[in-house]
């Protein structure tokens, strides 16, 4: 499976709650305010990762992911709250139901790949670890030739305070 997938470097692994696209710097403050209001009512939780899957499907993989098992309900609740808070600022609501996962890699040549599909199915019950989710970060993502570069703009603690990034 390894050579067919461009793996995300460990420092870039993350749980995406909502993708905003290009955002003007002048909107950052209102976004952080919306996240702060949303996070005030959410308790920290643990997210357990288990099983591999792929978008759009295991038989035609483009993105390889590990699912969130324990903590999935809390993740979905957080995503729904964030989606609603940002909709109030004019961001489009997500059309698809939120599927909590962590992206592990992108398939180099998307399409049918029976060997990769078999590897995904064979890891369907494998456990990968746990993460304590204590906050939400607003991140800037820049796609570069060597991969994505992420910059934390702010972090909001669940039931807590706001910390400013760069």
Q: Which residue among the candidates 4, 7, 14, 80 is catalytic per the annotation? A: 14
Euclidean distance between CA atoms 162 and 154, whole angstroms: 7
Strand partners, 125: none
Q: For this structure, is 132 an active site residue?
A: no
Q: Choose among 118, 116, 147, 123: nearest CA to 2.
A: 116
> 25: helix, coil or strand?
helix
Q: Which residue among the candidates 38, 53, 66, 101 is catalytic per the annotation? A: 101
Residue 143 structure tokens: 């796609």
Active site residues per annotation? 14, 101
């Amino acid at each position: 499976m390894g050579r067919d997938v461009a793996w995300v470097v460990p420092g870039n692994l993350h749980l995406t709650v909502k993708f905003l696209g290009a955002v003007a710097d002048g909107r950052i403050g209102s976004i952080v305010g919306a996240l702060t209001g949303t996070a005030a009512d959410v308790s920290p939780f643990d997210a357990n990762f288990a099983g591999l899957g792929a978008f759009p499907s295991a038989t035609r993989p483009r993105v390889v992911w590990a699912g969130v098992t324990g903590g999935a309900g809390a993740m979905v609740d957080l995503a729904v709250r964030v989606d609603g808070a940002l909709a109030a600022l004019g961001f489009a609501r997500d059309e698809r139901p939120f599927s909590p996962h962590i992206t592990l890699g992108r398939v180099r040549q998307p399409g049918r790949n029976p060997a990769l599909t078999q590897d995904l199915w064979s890891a369907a019950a494998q456990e990968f670890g746990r993460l304590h989710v204590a906050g939400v970060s607003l991140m800037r993502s820049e796609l570069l030739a060597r991969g994505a570069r992420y910059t934390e703009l702010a972090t909001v603690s669940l039931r807590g305070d706001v910390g400013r990034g760069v």
